[in-house]
Amino acid sequence: MSIYILFCNKSKSFGLLILLFGFVNAMSQENYWTQFRGTLLNGISEEKNLPVEWDDSTNVIWKTRIEGKGWSSPVVYGDQIWVTTATTDGKKMFAICVDFKTGNLLYNILLFSQDTIYKKHSVNTYATPTPCIEKGRVYLNFGSSGTACVSTENGLVLWKRDDLKCEHLQGPGSSPFLYKDLLILHFEGTLEQYIVALNKFDGKTIWRTDRPTMYYDPLGPVGKKAYTTPIVINLGGRDILISNGAAVSMAYDVTTGLEIWRIPQGEDSTIAMPITENGIVYFYTSCVTPAVGERYIELLAVDPSGSGDVSKSHVLWRIKSPIAQLLTPLIKSGVIYTIDTRNNLFGIDAKTGNTLFTKKLNSKNNSSPVYADSKVYFTSVKGETLVLKAGRALEILAQNSLSGEVYATPAIAKSSMIIRTATSLYRLGTK
């Protein structure tokens, strides 16, 4: 289950292009893939010479079996690839490290054991949140079961937290991410809904912000949960965190957790992350139940410069969509690429919300799309990858397939694509 930043400074147009977290440069995005949907959490890589076509025997550099079960996506730093996994009964949770060059197992670290397990959805796992990694440290989260920081140099556990609780009901999904010296986590369950920022060096809480209960109290337990991963954008020199939750989408000051604006809408899970380009934020809301007709969600385009309730003043356009959107769209050069839960592929004009192209697909896509070298890659739950030429018209370059289910989002690094299936990790490349 794929669940879940972007830009930087001075003029509104140029600064929002230079992007994200001010401290991450283009080279690190090119060489490594350090968080869910990449170092900049946008699904975009500057890598070239990736394979366009593959199968189980073509353009496979190596294949490594991963024991247990987990939908966390791979992250890459240096010559290490990290994922998480868990026993199928959810009682033991592990950090797995694989050598980038050879596929050999470097570490298999038991991080958490528990006798009492929480409920999860049948398609979810106990190891769904994606780790994040930097030089010397990898941060691994298992939702309410715990968060840990591990040394990438020797595999030693540097710190753990198992007191950040959340009744997930259907399992965890929100991935941690790094902002400067903060590790930021999103917890949204049936009893508590909050965002917390930890000191990445020792795991201590820097700030915690509970989401407004006025929007959650009227909902039933199943309607209060969310699996989304927030993003951070820079607006006029100020970094703000954007989080689209189950009942309300909100912006916070990322350094303090203080609210900036909100858009209340919906009554059930959000999974897809927000995305951003050219100073505009886009996100899927949770479910809306109309007086007549089917339930729906909406894809919103939002000017993030407001304050307070901006639902009537700063929403630029909105598009209705089928409920339970799992994958996070990709935005590149003014085009939003997405697939809805009825298997419809869309190219959407980011400025107007108009549909540029659409195509009905045969398989569900829960893995989020990624971009490299003017191509967009969509991978279905059946392990099929649709390769598109990026642009305002639909051009399919290839349709590939690997054995096994895929819910994890691929990683891109060093002219290779790393794909995790239900049982294995693949490194794909042109040898």
Report d(CA 140, CA 93) in Å as an integer.
10
Using alpha carbons only, how large is the chain's radius of gyration in Å?
20
Residue whose structure tokens are 């900049």: 40
Per-residue pLDDT, 171:
80
The per-residue b/e assignment along 73-83, b for 16 or more CB within 10 angstroms, e otherwise, is bbbbbeebbbb
Which tops the pLDDT comparison, 114 or 231? Answer: 231
Residue whose structure tokens are 């490194």: 427
Percent of the chain's residues with pLDDT above 90: 79
Strands (E), 7-136: 44-45, 60-65, 75-77, 80-86, 92-99, 105-113, 132-134
Give the rounded distance of the alpha carbon of 152 from its chain centre: 22
Per-residue pLDDT, 279:
95
Helices (H) and strands (E) in the chain, counts: 3, 34
Per-residue pLDDT, 5:
32
Is the pLDDT score of 158 beyond 50? yes
Report d(CA 392, CA 418) in Å as an integer.
27
Minimum mean pLDDT among 208-212, 323-327, 335-339, 347-351: which range? 323-327
Which tops the pLDDT comparison, 7 or 113? Answer: 113
Per-residue pLDDT, 118:
78
* Adjacent-strand bridge partners of 399: 386
Report d(CA 116, CA 291) in Å as an integer.
41
Report d(CA 349, CA 347) in Å as an integer.
7
Question: Around 291, how many Cα atoms within 13 Å sit in the side-chain half-sphere?
Answer: 0
Confidence of residue 51 (pLDDT cuts 50, 70, 90): very high
Inter-residue contact 80 to 97 (CB < 8 Å): yes
pLDDT digits (tens, 9 = 90+) for 300-326: 999 999 999 999 999 999 999 998 898
pLDDT digits (tens, 9 = 90+) for 27-45: 444 579 999 999 999 999 9
From first CA to last CA, the distance across the chain in angstroms is 30
Inter-residue contact 214 to 257 (CB < 8 Å): no
Q: What is the mean pLDDT of residues 176-198?
A: 95
Which tops the pLDDT comparison, 422 or 220? Answer: 422
Per-residue pLDDT, 266:
87
CATH 2.140.10.10 matches 12-326? yes
pLDDT digits (tens, 9 = 90+) for 191-243: 899 999 999 999 999 999 999 999 999 988 888 888 999 999 999 899 999 99
Inter-residue contact 284 to 244 (CB < 8 Å): yes
Per-residue pLDDT, 223:
85
Confidence of residue 428 (pLDDT cuts 50, 70, 90): very high
Per-residue pLDDT, 27:
40
**In 3-state terms, what secondary structure has residue 184?**
strand
Backbone dihedral angles phi then psi of residue 13, each to the nearest 5 degrees: -80, -50
Per-residue pLDDT, 184:
97
Is the pLDDT score of 380 beyond 80? yes
**In 3-state terms, what secondary structure has residue 31?**
helix
Q: What is the mean pLDDT of residues 259-278?
A: 93
Report which DSSP code applies to 352: T
Q: CB under 8 Å to 25, separation ≥6 — which residues? A: none
pLDDT digits (tens, 9 = 90+) for 352-378: 999 999 999 999 999 999 999 999 999
Mean of per-residue pLDDT scores for the chain:
91
Report which DSSP code applies to 220: -
- What sign has the CA pseudo-torsion 407, 410, 411, 417? positive
- What sign has the CA pseudo-torsion 260, 266, 267, 272? negative
Per-residue pLDDT, 18:
36
Number of Cβ within 10 Å of residue 353's Cβ equals 16
332 token code pair: 């590149």
